Amino acid sequence: MDRETFHNCCSLAKMPRQIHQQHCSSYFIEYLERETPYLKFFKNYLIPNQPCMFSKKFTEDWNCRKNWVTVDGKPNLQRLLHEFDETPVPVANCSAKEYNSNPKQIMPFKEFIQYWREYIQNGHSSPKGCLYLKDWHMQRNFPEHNTYKNPIYFSSDWLNEYWDTSEVDDYRFVYMGPKGSWTPFHADVFRSYSWSANICGRKKWLLYPPGQEEFLRDCHGNLAYDVTAPVLQDKGLYAQFEEACQPLEIIQEAGEIIFVPSGWHHQVYNLEDTISINHNWLNGCNLDIMWQFLQDELFSVQREIEDWRDTMDTWHQHCQVIMKSCTGIDYGEFASFLKTIANTRISFLNSCPRNADNCQDLLAESLCALGPHHAAFDLQRVLQIFESMLGNEDFKRLDPSALSFKPEELLQEIREAVRTIV
């Protein structure tokens, strides 16, 4: 990213988002080939928040596409069993509903493989229901396997960058499911982006652009569990269903990578026995969407316990606690998240090894590959969101102990670092 592109991207990112009941007919899926420049993806898909599909050429050299797949394109269950054997894995039951999701259990990997084999032999059915191994942190637990490479298009990944520093969690997952397994209607954590690569098998995606989900709520405000269910035709329960557009339907083939933008609700089916690798991620392009999501979540909590406001001196702090229990983050941690991202880029710009070969780790290598103007763009976006937070009444009410730094001082550091580049 050069200086002119930096200024153009900053201007584009500041433009108000049009998210009010956009119609799916105005969207289509574009396919990107391997020679696609990063800046094309950045300007045409990341900033405008548009979906796209990357061809199978992007994954053809991944180890998992060679080792986890048989010559006829099926999951190599024997090889997988040899690699992971007794490893405990999370498994959902797609045949059961628990709130708006599927109940999960932890089982040994070999037990899931045994189930999968029996499921296939029984014509893709089982008295146990349709089980789906999902949200497995395989990469975190087996980094030495070198299973796949994160494409540069998705390398500006603040979500995993931040959680890697805590060494507690991450948002990199492996999914393995038989034909017929599926994921109910939802949007991704923190309204993050996601990318999903089919190692083998095929998926069907139903995607709705931001705003359409409001037509898919019942009379109690609950989001639909299955957007294809006949119950949505009940006007007494789903009064606005007919106003929703038809979803963008996408068939994802083996080897392809789909990019799902922020706030696009979706429902996904495995049309064959399928293995996929999925990352949730966010960066400066969709940081404003995450911040708006957190504000909306806090407002929902405040509305639910409004009756207790005058009876509790710590009502606002309790709202933050409840929000974190529901979403996984509160305003204090969001501020710490931004500080971590900013400090890394300030340090990078101060040292700025221009050659990726001189970088000491994967994060530095990624920053080098994207360049100093990309780091400056990141800092500009952190600056904009922090300025918004400092004017937010709920952020002002945070207990001082919730922050380990002074935001005003960090903002000054950011301004000085960006000034050296622009």
pLDDT digits (tens, 9 = 90+) for 207-231: 999 999 999 999 999 999 999 999 9
Q: Is there a contact between 378 and 46 (Cβ–Cβ < 8 Å)?
A: no
Structure confidence at residue 24 (pLDDT):
62
SS3 105: strand
Residue type, 328: G
Mean pLDDT of the region 411-417: 94
Neighbours of 15 (CB within 10 A): 9
The overall average pLDDT reported for the chain is: 92
Neighbours of 362 (CB within 10 A): 12
pLDDT digits (tens, 9 = 90+) for 226-278: 999 999 999 999 999 999 999 999 999 999 999 999 999 999 999 999 999 99
Both structure tokens of 364 = 């530095």
List Cα–Cα distances, 24 to 27, 105, 226, in angstroms.
Answer: 5, 36, 18
Structure confidence at residue 357 (pLDDT):
54
Q: Is there a contact between 324 and 332 (Cβ–Cβ < 8 Å)?
A: no
Whole-model pTM?
0.93
Closest CA to 204 of 125, 276, 119: 276
Label residue 354 by pLDDT band (50, 70, 90).
low
pLDDT digits (tens, 9 = 90+) for 148-199: 999 999 999 999 999 998 877 899 999 999 999 999 999 999 999 999 999 9
- In whole angstroms, what is the distance from residue 394 CA to residue 297 CA? 12
Mean pLDDT of the region 45-56: 96
pLDDT digits (tens, 9 = 90+) for 377-398: 999 999 999 999 999 999 999 9
Angle at CA of residue 54, ends 51 and 58, nearest 5°: 150
- DSSP code, position 242: G
Structure confidence at residue 13 (pLDDT):
67
What percent of the chain shows pLDDT beyond 70? Answer: 91
Label residue 20 by pLDDT band (50, 70, 90).
very low
Structure confidence at residue 274 (pLDDT):
98
* CB crowding 310-344: b at 16 or more within 10 Å, else e: eeeeeebbbbbebbbeebebbbbbbbbbbbbbbeb
pLDDT digits (tens, 9 = 90+) for 61-90: 999 999 999 999 999 999 999 999 999 999
Query: E strands within 202-319?
Result: 203-208, 248-252, 257-260, 265-270, 274-281
How would you list the strands of the sheet with 265-270, edge to edge?
A: 182-186, 265-270, 203-208, 248-252
